[in-house]
Amino acid sequence: MPAKTIKPGRSDSKTVQQRRQRVASILPILKRAYPQAKCSLNYSNPLELLVATILSAQCTDERVNQVTRELFRKYRTAADYARVPQQQLEKDIQSTGFYRNKAKAIRAMAQALVQKHDGQVPDTMEQLVELPGVGRKTANVVLGNAFGKNVGIVVDTHVTRLANRLGLTRHKADASKIEQDLMQVVPQDQWTLWSHLLIHHGRAICRARKPRCTQCPILEHCPSGKKFIQDGTAE
């Protein structure tokens, strides 16, 4: 039997309106709290950001920035990464962890850039996610930050946690579903900045353990904050 299409009912659209309103209230407060919010990976062109984002999996941005300082001096073009032997690149990026897979991914991605895109990083979601080792999250980082295009919303561990605590999604951990929920309620021209703001707030105040709800500037708009303060979850 064909699956039934579920149309959003009245209550769903009301919920979406409420979530949009909540985002509209939160956004200016977070912008004031984190006026410098931006991508914390260092890069000077789309290729560097693509490489840095691949390296940032399971690694801190600080460590990635330490490694790329020398890496970006050594490798300047996609062709440079495409022809470096696997073992050499592994050595260059070792301290970022999972270096075998990361070196493999960077070399394969660079070879595809050379073969299919004249060595240039493409600026569409479709072309980016076709590159080996590049998923939607990496593509969103590159599109939003290196190309200034709001095509989607980066959902990392901080965005996942905050979207849940702020009641902006019903999906606990599925990044693509959380992204869809956020895209419904965050204005498109704010998508890239939205992720940076949540990541900054997640690091500074809304930490995974002991969130600082009593010091949080968006407490009055957060459905979890009062509960966390009452039950002792908050610091």
Task: List interacting residues with ligand SF4 (CB under 6 A).
Answer: 165-166, 205-206, 211-213, 216, 218-219, 222, 224-225, 228
Q: Which is nearer to ligand SF4, 81 or 228 (CB)?
A: 228
Which of the 8 DSSP states describes residue 97? Answer: S
Q: What are the backbone angles phi and psi of residue 229, rounded to the nearest 5°?
A: -70, -45
Residue 193 C-beta: closest distance to ligand SF4, Å: 17
| Closest-approach residue to ligand SF4 (CB) | 225
Q: Which is nearer to ligand SF4, 1 or 208 (CB)?
A: 208
Which one-letter amino acid corresponds to residue 233? T
Contact 155, 175 (CB under 8 A): yes
Residue 217 C-beta: closest distance to ligand SF4, Å: 8
Question: Which positions ≥6 away from 205 have C-beta within 8 Å?
Answer: 211, 212, 215, 216, 217
Q: Which residues are catalytic?
A: 137, 156
Q: Which is nearer to ligand SF4, 30 or 106 (CB)?
A: 30
Which of the 8 DSSP states describes residue 56? Answer: T
Q: Which is nearer to ligand SF4, 122 or 225 (CB)?
A: 225
Residue 225 C-beta: closest distance to ligand SF4, Å: 3
Q: Which is nearer to ligand SF4, 18 or 101 (CB)?
A: 18
Residue 216 C-beta: closest distance to ligand SF4, Å: 3
Q: How far apart are CA 69 and CA 107, in angstroms?
A: 19
Q: How far apart are CA 105 and CA 51, in angstroms?
A: 9
Residue 162 C-beta: closest distance to ligand SF4, Å: 6
Kindly write down the DSSP assignment for every residue of 182-218, as one continuous string.
Answer: HHHHS-GGGHHHHHHHHHHHHHHTS-SSS--GGG-TT
Q: How far apart are CA 89 and CA 92, in angstroms?
A: 5
Side-chain-facing half-sphere of 168: CA atoms under 13 Å: 29
